[in-house]
Structure 1
Amino acid sequence: MRILVVEDNRTLADGLAAVLRVAGYAVDVVHDGVSADAVLTTETFDLVVLDLSLPEMDGLDVLRRMRGRRNPSSVLVLTARGALDERVRGLDLGADDYMTKPFEVSELEARIRVLLRRQAGLHNSSIAFGSIELDTVSRTLSAFGQTLDIPARELSVLETLLRKAGKVVAKQSIIESLAAFDDDLSENAVEQYISRLRRRLAPYALTVRVARGLGYYLDRIAD
């Protein structure tokens, strides 16, 4: 899942990005409203964490322009401007949630999980396929009731495949779901993640197959 953090306080922005990357998300960061508007015009994100008090263009203007382009990304407004009229304006312009600074990181992470689950159209936190099950809230993978230890990047690739289980996922879609602006993620890197996932899934009668020229899909291994 891909998140854009729009925050002019670079220390806070870097801290948020670090926390979210550890949780397995692909995170991009910009520090002003004009840059945010430009990126949101050309790039696709599952969620935008948006400060309001931004240089060059106010966060509410960024949000207004987003929704004017019918950008469907979920938006979590994160700001020190906590007055009721500010919250109402943000929600009326299309924000999905609103948090004021200072905030607890654990609550922010929980709200992000809810918004991403809603964005993906999931009615509960679990996605299952064959003998494996991914809890998208705790970001844990299990098989036959036992938790599987899997690196964050591989888990994100698997989540992308699970969300479209039985359908082909283009390699470029996997790259976009993982890569941040400062990440040089190649097609070869994706192939390595897929290869590792095949080894991890084999004991559970599952695999990742190649649809030549199209992408990858999850499949069961026949007896």
Structure 2
Amino acid sequence: MARILLYYFEMEWKTVLIVDDNLESAITLKEFLQAQGFKCLLASSAKEALGLINEDVGVAVLDVDLPDIDGFTLLKVLKGKKPDMITAVISAHSSWENKSRALELGADFVFAKPLNLSSFIEELKEKFKKGAAK
């Protein structure tokens, strides 16, 4: 059982899709996650993200404000395609409505921009531990 969990963690869960049209934010997160041992894919639009979802993506970080469709719609589509994928929604507009809507659509986390990278990685690690305990 432990080998199966390790396989999923190593092969799939460690690939993170970052969807953010703010290139500076996306690159900062990518570099941080790569330093933690994650493989990262970047997309600046929902269309680009959907083209990458067939990769071995286990985690998606979605900005709410995207140029083509909003992050909530993308979240719904991604969860429909990969229901077990860990998802985090990030937004510069951290309202109660945004947080509530994201969680209702299946987001595992909701973070305000600018993203606190230490909190983000701790939440992600905790989610992995909970998943491994199942």
Partner SS state of residue 87, structure 1: helix
Name the CA distance, whole Å, in 2 between partners of 1:113 and 1:53: 26
Q: Matches of 2:82 and 2:92 in 1, distance apart?
A: 27
Q: Normalization by structure 2: what TM-score? A: 0.82
SS at structure 1 position matched to 2:132: coil
Aligned residues: 121
Aligned partners of 2:39, 2:81: CA distance in 1, in Å? 23
Query: 4+ residue stretches of structure 1 with deviation over 6 A?
Result: none
Is contact 2:79-2:85 (8 Å) kept? no
- Cα distance in 2 between the residues matched to 1:17 and 1:59: 18
Task: Answer with 1 or 2: which has the greater Rg.
Answer: 1
CA positional deviation for 1:70: 4.4
Higher strand share: 1
Q: Which residue of 1 aligns with 2:46?
A: 33
Question: 1:50 touches 1:75 (CA, 8 Å); kept in 2?
Answer: yes
Tell me, in whole angstroms, the C-alpha distance in 1 between the residues paired with 2:93 and 2:66. 12
Paired residue for 1:16?
Answer: 29
Q: How does 1:1-223 map to 2 (within 5 A)?
A: 1-40=14-53, 42-118=54-130, 121-123=131-133
2:64, 2:71 within 8 Å by CA — same for their partners in 1? Answer: yes
- Structure with greater helix share of residues: 2
Tell me the distance in 2 between the aligned counterparts of 1:72 and 1:10.
27
Provide structure 2 residue ranges, at least 5 long, that are not aligned to the other structure: 1-13
Q: Deviations over 1:17-63 (max 9, x none)?
A: 011101111111111111112322x2231211111101112111101
RMSD after superposition: 1.7
**Residue 122 of structure 1 aligns to which amino acid in structure 2?**
A
CA distance in 1 between partners of 2:67 and 2:81 (Å): 22
Comparing 21-30 with 66-75, greater Cα deviation is found at: 66-75
Query: How many Å separate the matches in 2 of 1:95 and 1:75?
Result: 5
Secondary structure, counterpart of 1:77 in structure 2: strand
Secondary structure of the residue aligned to 1:82 is coil
Are the equivalent residues in 2 in contact too, given 1:47–1:116 (CA < 8 A)? no
| Structure with larger RCO (C-alpha < 8 A, sep 6+) | 2
Give me the TM-score of the superposition, normalised by structure 1.
0.51
Q: Percent identity, please.
A: 26
